[in-house]
Chain A
Amino acid sequence: MLPLAFLPAADDSISGLISLAVKAMFVENILLAFFLGMCSYLAVSKRVDTAIGLGVAVVFVQTITLPVNWAIYNYLLRPDALSWAGLPGTDLRYLGLIFYISTIAAMVQIVEMAIDKYSPKLYASLGIFLPLIAVNCAILGGSLFMVERDYSLPQSVVFGVGSGLGWMLAIISMAAIRQKLRTAHIPDSLKGLGITFITTGLIAMAFMTFSGIQL
């Protein structure tokens, strides 16, 4: 019943990957089913254009960090991962969190510099949101799920893109609704956070209808 035990996709075939992408985007939407990335979702969903900017940045960073953390896990941390360097019998999994969060922080920094160099226009529009992504739970959560579910490299790339797009979809739809809500008559103490949670609950309910899809 609970979405916590995400079933690993059976294989790396194209159909398996497509079904994983759909699942990550809709059925097990990282924000609406796992509550990840709530803070920036609540803070940045007041306007559609900023929501789109942050959404794009999250997709971007998620797509890059997941394969990198996949490589770190499989070639450095997992039991016996260091046999390629002549060090069999190691198990560095307890260092996982520190490695993943450093990778994420470094990747965010690199992405920021690259965008600044090659597309100053996009950089100006993303601006303050890029550094914020380093502490977005959706990114770290993606890496932790990838490890827990033992994804292969193609699977982790697809999962990265899919979960990023799912997050973007959720924040953009929320921003659109919140712009309309501004003119609605809402009880004073329900304004802002309260009504946002209740609306999110309704969106999450709508997304649950996707769980009937069989691929």
Chain B
Amino acid sequence: MTTAVAPAPAKAPAAPLFGKAEKKAVLDPLWDNNPIALQVLGICSALAVTIKLDQTVLMCVGVIAVLCASNTIISMLRNMIPSKIRIIVMLVVISSLVTLVDILLKRFAFDVAKGLSVFVGLIVTNCIVMGRAEAFAMANKPWPSFLDGLGNALGYSWILLAVAFFRELFGSGTLFGVRVIPASVYADAGGFYFNNGLMVLAPGAFLLLGVIVWVQRGISGYTESH
């Protein structure tokens, strides 16, 4: 959980809105300091929603909204929160935001949101939100915190989308519900092809994420000590 949390970059008071530090805050978590592959945050509620791409996209939208908003709000409140009760204050802020997101998702995308079941609610305990609030927003100004939230949420999203892409393609032969592997090659229709049933089950997600982490770390050159 604490393997590679980035040190908070120091920022000059009159920095430009999109200076080098800001760009770094957004781009770093996409690859070099990816929240899932390197910081090991936010895996909890992530894997269960990667069976279908449309669910995954909705989940990513939820996480991006919550993470940006919570980082900004907690950063605004950072000088008012007594450090002893900060966990509870953060939890209240985050769970209010998640409640809002939950209601909005149910309003605008009811069917898909219903399919996400309890996992939208579980964004509350998604370590990525807590982790960034604790590691970054408590020590930085609102604007960099917002960018940090955005960067980390995007870093989380692309890994999730990659997992979902392979799970839906090999597990159901579709992408976003549209058939990609033609129905005529399936064994039922006289062809040779079967869907890989393992992909839609839990072990498939674990194995796939393991391989994605392996590839990401192989390219970025990060290794763990033991």
Contacts and interface: CB of A to CB of B under 8 A. Distances in A.
Contacts of A210: none
Contact of A201 (B41, B98, B207): B207
Interface string B105-144: 0000000000101100110111100100000000000000
A214 interface: no
Contact of A36 (B44, B91, B92, B217): B44
Contact of A189 (B45, B125, B202, B222): B222
B193 interface: no
A208 B40 CA distance: 25
DSSP class of A's interface residues: helix, strand, loop or mixed? helix
Nearest to B88: A105
A69 to B, nearest CB: 12
A3 B127 CA distance: 23
Given A137-B125, A189-B223, A191-B224, A35 B200 contact: no
Contact of A137 (B44, B217, B223): B44
A85 interface: no
Interface string B196-218: 01101111111101110110011
A190 B213 CA distance: 8
Contacts of B213: 193-194, 197
B222 A137 contact: no
Contacts of B37: 193
Contacts of A197: 206-207, 209-210, 213
Interface string B18-46: 00000000000000000001001111111
A204 B202 contact: yes
A34 B127 contact: no
A32 interface: yes
DSSP class of B's interface residues: helix, strand, loop or mixed? helix
Contacts of A204: 201-203, 206
Contacts of A182: 226
Contact of A193 (B87, B127, B224): B224
Contacts of A135: 87, 91, 125, 127, 130
Given A141-B122, A193-B213, A39 B87 contact: no
B95 interface: yes
A192 B41 CA distance: 14
Given A36-B44, A39-B44, A140-B125, A201 B118 contact: no
Contacts of B203: 201-202, 204-205, 208
Interface in B78-117: 87-88, 91-92, 95-96, 98-99, 102-103, 115, 117
B32 to A, nearest CB: 14
A166 interface: no
Interface in A170-209: 182, 187-198, 200-202, 204-205, 208
Nearest to A97: B95
7 contacts: A39-B127, A42-B40, A97-B121, A141-B118, A192-B3, A201-B202, A205-B198
Given A193-B213, A198-B210, 12 more contacts: A35-B44, A35-B45, A38-B44, A96-B99, A97-B95, A101-B125, A141-B122, A182-B226, A187-B214, A197-B210, A201-B205, A201-B206
- 6 A-B pairs closest in CB distance: A192-B224, A197-B210, A201-B206, A144-B118, A198-B210, A189-B217
